Amino acid sequence: MLSVAVRARRLAAPLVLGLALVTLNACSDDNGGSKKDPEEALAAAKRTLDETSGVKIEMSTKDLPNGVTGITAAEGTGVHPSAFEGTFKLSVNGLPADADVIAVEGKTYAKNSLLLPDWTPIDPADYGAPDPAKLMDPDGGFSGLLSAAEDVKTGDTVRGGEDNKEILTEYTGTIASDAVSALIPSAEGDFEFTYTISEDDELRGAVLKGAFYGEEHGDVTYTLTLDDYGTQKDITAP
């Protein structure tokens, strides 16, 4: 005959197991990431970007088509009112070239140790580059990548930030070349994107794939990173 203690343990076992399963399910469902509707998430990220004082920017590609003039990498600081200061790495008809760049008040200046030893006004389009001052424009630039997105779907949650402590949410979809041309003026056709947005509604990254240099050159993939929201920098003409 079973003792009272043994019977009590057997009766309690299903209850303990049930509580454990409820707790496990609750933990599994609470895996972080945004719970917003995809369109709402991108709209919130646009507001955050438009309202910040500035961000650190990096953009690069590993598959620039042979023989084109364009950007292989860029890094710098973009601020509001819309201005930029940083460095562009270019391929000019297949030859590498680096240039320091300042863009402010509607003008872009570049300096290169070989061709432009002094700060010189340039037209960025001559180098397959965007107008850097417009990258932070609320009506275009990075904001346009968010507001013009179509068929947006929520993707995976990923770790990021300092020591991978943050949980970020990916969003996928398509975007027309009209918006992408703010990054590369020669863009044509539709582009696929993956955006990565933080729980604080910050666009942290974007991967865009499409015909950046015209459909005859095929698809190119650019990776964009935005970080250090709230950066402050006084950018003035040289």
What pLDDT, in 10s, does the model give residues 155-177?
A: 999 987 777 788 999 999 999 99
The pairs formed by 213-220 with CB atoms below 8 angstroms and a separation of 24 or more are: 213/64, 213/65, 213/68, 213/70, 213/128, 213/184, 213/186, 213/187, 214/186, 214/188, 215/188, 215/189, 217/65, 217/68, 218/65, 220/61, 220/63, 220/64, 220/65
**What's residue 126's pLDDT?**
83
Residues 86-98 pLDDT 10s: 999 988 877 888 9
Q: What pTM, to 2 d.p., does this model score?
A: 0.82
Residue 57's DSSP bridge partners are 76, 226
Say if residue 13 is in the same domain as residue 89. no
Say if residue 93 is in the same domain as residue 158. yes
Say if residue 208 is in the same domain as residue 174. yes
Say if residue 4 is in the same domain as residue 85. no
Cα torsion at 126, 127, 130, 134 (round to 10°)? -70
Say if residue 182 is in the same domain as residue 84. yes
Say if residue 76 is in the same domain as residue 124. yes
Residue 94's DSSP bridge partners are none
Q: Which spans in 35-181 are helix H?
A: 38-51, 141-147, 177-180
Domain span at 8:
1-30
Residues 184-232 pLDDT 10s: 999 999 999 999 999 999 999 999 999 999 999 999 999 999 999 999 9
DSSP single-letter state for residue 101: E
Say if residue 104 is in the same domain as residue 185. yes
Say if residue 45 is in the same domain as residue 12. no
Task: Kindly state whether residue 143 falls inside one of the protein's structural domains.
Answer: yes
Task: Kindly state whether residue 219 falls inside one of the protein's structural domains.
Answer: yes
Number of domains the chain contains: 2
